[in-house]
Amino acid sequence: MPLEAGLLDILACPACHAPLREEQGPDTPELVCTGEGCGLAYPIRDDIPVLLVDEARRPA
């Protein structure tokens, strides 16, 4: 289930504060940072974004 459009408008990467975009990750949906040089992917679990840098993965 996609996140509400209004929610994506206000969320930002906790590491660099760049906007996030929703993508399908290898196992679960993710919010991926659009910032140059960051690119962290934050998991979405049970329709709740987990915006913790320690939980993020760095895409290949």
- pLDDT tens for each residue of 10-60: 999 999 999 999 999 888 899 999 999 999 999 999 989 999 999 999 977
Q: What gap in Å lies between CA 15 and CA 12, rounded to an integer?
A: 9
Name which of 6, 20, 3 is nearest 40 in CA terms: 20
Q: What gap in Å lies between CA 9 and CA 12, rounded to an integer?
A: 8
Identify the band that residue 8 occupies on the pLDDT scale cut at 50, 70 and 90. Answer: confident
Contacts of 38 (CB under 8 A, 6+ apart): 13, 15, 16, 18
Structure tokens that stand for 35 in this block? 């910032």
The pTM is what? Answer: 0.86
